[in-house]
């Protein structure tokens, strides 16, 4: 008996556009001798298959097992349709322009192994061509202007394909079939070096020569401009610092390969995976002592280096020619956003760069490099941007209506959620910068279009002065529904999303500061939280923040505030003969000294007292340096008292830790030992606080979130204490623990609340 012929319609959702999915389906269908069609639509890709039942089943199995490397299949929905009975073969359809739902644009991706081989093969027609790419690699998010993802809606629209490129693009059997940015030296973008004529090879040789001479070169990359300088040049790196007005923040360094990375830093297996992943983030790794090769001005006072591997063919060619570590830092002045438009880059970087290495493929969306480090053998993202955005993150809930999470302010991102899928924007930076704010507002509109989500609910921080809050209010005027979410609740929610858990948990949210439900500044919080609500169960005892915001820039003010509580006068007071007393009085008066329970400010106070620094040039600097100072071989720890107040939240006396620091300073204990004892003391307090909450709530899972937990020393100590006491501990991996994760936490909470009220309706 002949086998039954069936016809199936498959809807495939996930990252399936621009990643070689259609040619893959095409050859798979051919191998199973099926006829039908595959095409992109606004939900992802659709497939119609006709053939024997067995063959269709085999195809369905292989679809998931053999999918191309960059494809991510979230969901396949199958429905049987009437067979046509025609053996018309299998074909690839053009895009359906329908806009029914969500599509996923792939993140930009580092050059693949096949393209690398061609790039270095003298017999290949793309030998040495700095813009080589294929369906498995190359620019994506940064060049997409609109959806569906097709060449005319990218910044490659201005480069008509030559005959050989067109043939590859049209051939379903080719690796470049429907690779939208496909091009070659004859038809594609061209490399340019200011004031120099020549082919790509000569240009790159010239740039390497300029770099060897210690010159600063602006290099146009994937998501923006970088500033490059020889990382071994003292003069070059110092000049770059001066011209960029960047005092102390470390520069990222590009290395040619893992071997060069290992010559500069200790590379653990997890770091190696991160470094070589298609996302190619900057990876923070412990530098080798003595660091030797790398100039002091690259990462002053740091025990870590931020390293990355080449991720565009241009980087590959440049690194081959230069053959040494290269500073590759974002092309901007001080805290401005990275330059990505050519004219603007000329203007803003003209005073910094000695030369411009550019090309004529426009960048449509500014996307910064991502930053990661590893924790317990797993990646932990600190800045989620190029290579990761806009890949969707699965929510542990299903949003009834589309939600926008507006994020925080300093490390801003926004998040669009629909159904159980959330799209976190690339890192945007400080919204107080006007240009950053503009790309934030424009970015919301752009990404909403790309992912096909029109938000109905807008979640925002409770801080009335955050520009993200104000933006949410503006959107509300055009009819969107507002949903306020407390800052630290959003942190814990982001950690829950990262771990695919709806809670409830004991949430420990330690950060700089965030607006509390009582209008004071929180930042050392113990919450009992799920994705709907949070109850403040405990916190670090509040201390005044003398001078408000200026205490963030001047950690010595926090030292004064803590010392005032202890009636102590530390050595550092002598460095401020006039101001110390005035600030102490300010702290006592409560005037212009808002109380804060911030863990970040406690770190600041201790960092100042042990002599790390009195003032900072970027947020969290003192804490970062205190972590690096800590001597892990030191013995001992500090202890702080937990005060209970019945139904009210308990309070952990951070001042006890400060008192112990002062006592050790009196005894001339080395600063590195004090730093370690402080970390241990704080980790112990975290575990004690959680234990207290477990006794009354019965909860056995703890979520650790907030910028302070980027400190892997504190994180490791806290996790170890908690696990020893039988807790299950959730930490961050894909979503930053800092304010970059706030928007997805907000979106998850707003979605869950909305789903709850939809059930009630």
Cβ atoms of 734 and 384 closer than 8 Å: yes
Contact region for Zn ion (CB under 5 A) — 185-193, 388-396, 480-488, 566-574?
A: 185-193
Cβ atoms of 746 and 490 closer than 8 Å: yes
Q: Which lies closer to Zn ion via its Cβ, residue 21 or residue 225? A: 21
H/E segment holding residue 651: strand 648-652
Among 12, 34, 38, 165, binds Zn ion (CB under 5 A): 165
Minimum Å distance from CB 395 to Zn ion? 32
Q: Which lies closer to Zn ion via its Cβ, residue 129 or residue 526? A: 129
Among 55, 71, 137, 480, binds Zn ion (CB under 5 A): 137
Site string for Zn ion, 295-324 (x = CB under 5 A): ------------------------------
CA distance 237 to 223: 23
Contact region for Zn ion (CB under 5 A) — 164-172, 485-493, 572-580, 660-668?
A: 164-172
Among 72, 162, 441, 642, binds Zn ion (CB under 5 A): 162
Among 184, 317, 587, 659, binds Zn ion (CB under 5 A): 184
CA distance 455 to 12: 23
Q: Which lies closer to Zn ion via its Cβ, residue 222 or residue 682? A: 222
Give Cβ neighbours of residue 633 (< 8 Å, ≥ 6 apart). Answer: none
Cis amide prior to 96 (ω within 30 degrees):
no
Minimum Å distance from CB 705 to Zn ion? 37
Minimum Å distance from CB 257 to Zn ion? 18
Contact region for Zn ion (CB under 5 A) — 128-136, 245-253, 731-739, 748-756?
A: 128-136
Helix axes 434-451, 467-477, angle to 10 degrees: 50
Site for Zn ion in 76-115 (CB under 5 A): 112, 115
Q: Which lies closer to Zn ion via its Cβ, residue 115 or residue 616? A: 115
Q: Which lies closer to Zn ion via its Cβ, residue 163 or residue 647? A: 163
| DSSP secondary structure code for residue 425 in this structure | P
Residue 676's nearest CA partner among 620, 629, 641 is: 629
C-alpha distance across the termini of the chain, in Å: 54
129 CA to centre of own chain = 30
Q: How far is CA 631 from CA 453, 626, 670, 673, in A?
A: 49, 10, 9, 5
Q: Which lies closer to Zn ion via its Cβ, residue 23 or residue 707? A: 23
408 CA to centre of own chain = 14
Minimum Å distance from CB 205 to Zn ion? 24
Residue 703's nearest CA partner among 514, 409, 494 is: 494
Helix axes 487-498, 742-760, angle to 10 degrees: 90
Q: Which lies closer to Zn ion via its Cβ, residue 184 or residue 722? A: 184
Among 134, 372, 410, 630, binds Zn ion (CB under 5 A): 134
Three-class secondary structure of residue 248 per DSSP: coil
Site string for Zn ion, 666-695 (x = CB under 5 A): ------------------------------
Dump the DSSP string for 251-304. Answer: PEEE-SSHHHHHHHB---HHHHHHHHSTT--EEEEEBPSS-TTS-GGGSTT-SE
Size of the site for Zn ion (CB under 5 A): 10
Minimum Å distance from CB 307 to Zn ion? 23
Q: Which lies closer to Zn ion via its Cβ, residue 134 or residue 660? A: 134
Both tokens of 31, joined, read 């191998």
Q: Which lies closer to Zn ion via its Cβ, residue 20 or residue 281? A: 20
Contact region for Zn ion (CB under 5 A) — 50-58, 155-163, 452-460, 559-567?
A: 155-163
Indicate whether 480 belongs to the interface with Zn ion (CB under 5 A): no
Q: Which lies closer to Zn ion via its Cβ, residue 55 or residue 134? A: 134
Give the count of alpha carbons within 13 A of 178, CB side only.
23
Q: Which lies closer to Zn ion via its Cβ, residue 22 or residue 487? A: 22
Helix axes 621-629, 671-697, angle to 10 degrees: 110
Minimum Å distance from CB 228 to Zn ion? 24
Site for Zn ion in 186-215 (CB under 5 A): 186-187
Q: How far is CA 757 from CA 398, 401, 403, 419, 746, in A?
A: 13, 11, 14, 15, 17
Among 35, 40, 95, 136, binds Zn ion (CB under 5 A): 136
Q: Which residues bind Zn ion (CB under 5 A)?
A: 112, 115, 134, 136-137, 162, 165, 184, 186-187
């Amino acid at each position: 008996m002949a086998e039954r012929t069936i016809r199936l319609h498959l809807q495939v959702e996930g990252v399936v556009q621009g990643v070689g999915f259609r040619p893959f389906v095409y050859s798979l269908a051919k191998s199973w001798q099926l006829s039908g069609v595959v095409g992109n639509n606004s939900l992802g890709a659709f497939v119609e298959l006709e053939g024997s039942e067995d063959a269709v089943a085999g195809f369905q199995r292989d679809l998931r097992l053999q999918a191309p490397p960059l494809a991510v299949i979230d969901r396949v929905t199958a429905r049987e349709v009437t067979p046509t009975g025609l053996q018309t073969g299998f074909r690839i359809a053009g895009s359906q322009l329908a806009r029914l739902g969500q599509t996923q644009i792939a993140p930009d991706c580092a050059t693949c192994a096949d393209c690398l081989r061609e790039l270095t093969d003298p017999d290949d027609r793309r030998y040495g061509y700095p813009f080589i790419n294929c369906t498995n690699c190359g620019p994506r998010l940064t060049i997409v202007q609109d959806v569906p993802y097709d060449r005319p809606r990218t910044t490659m629209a201005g480069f008509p394909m030559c005959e050989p490129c067109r043939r590859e693009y049209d051939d379903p059997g080719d690796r470049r079939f429907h690779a939208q940015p496909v091009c070659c030296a004859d038809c594609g973008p061209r490399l340019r070096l200011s004031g120099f004529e020549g082919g790509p090879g000569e240009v790159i040789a010239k740039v390497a020569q300029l770099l060897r001479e210690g010159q600063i070169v602006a290099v146009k990359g994937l998501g923006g401009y970088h500033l490059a300088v020889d990382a071994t040049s003292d003069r070059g790196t110092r000049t770059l610092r001066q011209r960029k007005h960047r005092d102390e923040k470390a520069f990222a360094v590009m290395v040619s390969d893992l071997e060069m990375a290992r010559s500069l830093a200790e590379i653990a297996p997890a770091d190696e995976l991160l470094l070589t992943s298609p996302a190619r983030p900057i990876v923070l790794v412990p530098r080798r002592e003595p660091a030797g090769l790398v100039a002091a001005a690259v990462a002053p006072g740091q025990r870590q280096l931020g390293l990355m591997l080449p991720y565009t063919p241009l980087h590959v060619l440049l690194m081959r020619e230069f053959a040494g570590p290269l500073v590759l830092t974002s092309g901007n002045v001080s805290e401005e956003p990275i330059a990505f438009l050519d004219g603007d880059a000329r203007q803003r970087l003209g005073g910094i760069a000695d030369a411009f290495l550019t090309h004529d493929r426009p960048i449509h969306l500014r996307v910064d490099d991502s930053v990661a480090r590893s924790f317990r053998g797993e990646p932990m993202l600190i800045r989620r941007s190029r290579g990761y955005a806009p890949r969707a993150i699965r929510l542990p809930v299903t949003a009834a209506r589309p939600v926008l999470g507006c994020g925080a302010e300093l490390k801003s991102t926004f998040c669009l959620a629909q159904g159980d899928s959330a799209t976190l924007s690339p890192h945007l930076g400080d919204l107080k910068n006007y240009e950053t704010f503009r790309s934030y507002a424009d970015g919301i509109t752009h990404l909403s279009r790309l992912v096909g989500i029109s938000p109905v609910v807008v979640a925002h921080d409770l801080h009335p002065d955050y520009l993200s809050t104000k933006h949410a209010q503006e959107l509300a005027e055009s009819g969107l529904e507002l949903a306020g979410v407390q800052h630290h609740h959003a942190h814990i929610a982001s950690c829950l999303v990262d771990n695919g858990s709806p809670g409830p948990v004991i949430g420990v949210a330690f950060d700089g500061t965030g607006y509390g439900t009582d209008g004071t500044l929180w930042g050392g919080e113990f919450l009992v939280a799920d994705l709907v609500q949070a109850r403040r169960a405990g916190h670090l005892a509040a201390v005044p923040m003398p001078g408000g915001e200026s205490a963030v820039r001047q950690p010595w003010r926090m030292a004064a505030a803590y010392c005032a509580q202890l009636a102590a006068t530390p050595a550092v007071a002598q460095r401020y003969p006039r101001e110390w007393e005035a600030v102490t009085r300010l702290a006592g008066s409560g005037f212009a000294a808002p109380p804060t329970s911030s863990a970040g400010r406690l770190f600041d106070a201790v960092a100042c007292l042990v002599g790390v620094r009195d003032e900072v040039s970027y947020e969290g600097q003192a804490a970062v340096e205190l972590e690096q100072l800590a001597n892990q071989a030191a013995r001992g720890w500090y202890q702080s008292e937990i005060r209970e107040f019945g139904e009210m939240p308990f309070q952990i006396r951070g001042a006890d830790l400060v008192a112990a620091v002062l006592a050790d300073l009196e005894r001339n204990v080395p600063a590195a030992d004090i730093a370690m004892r402080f970390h241990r003391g704080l980790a112990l307090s975290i575990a004690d606080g959680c234990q207290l909450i477990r006794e009354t709530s019965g909860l056995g899972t703890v979520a650790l979130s907030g910028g302070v937990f980027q400190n892997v020393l504190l994180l490791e100590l806290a996790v170890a204490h908690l696990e020893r006491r039988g807790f299950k501990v959730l930490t961050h991996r894909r979503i930053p623990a800092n304010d970059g994760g706030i928007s997805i936490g907000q979106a998850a909470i707003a979605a869950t609340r909305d789903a709850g009220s939809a059930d009630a309706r």
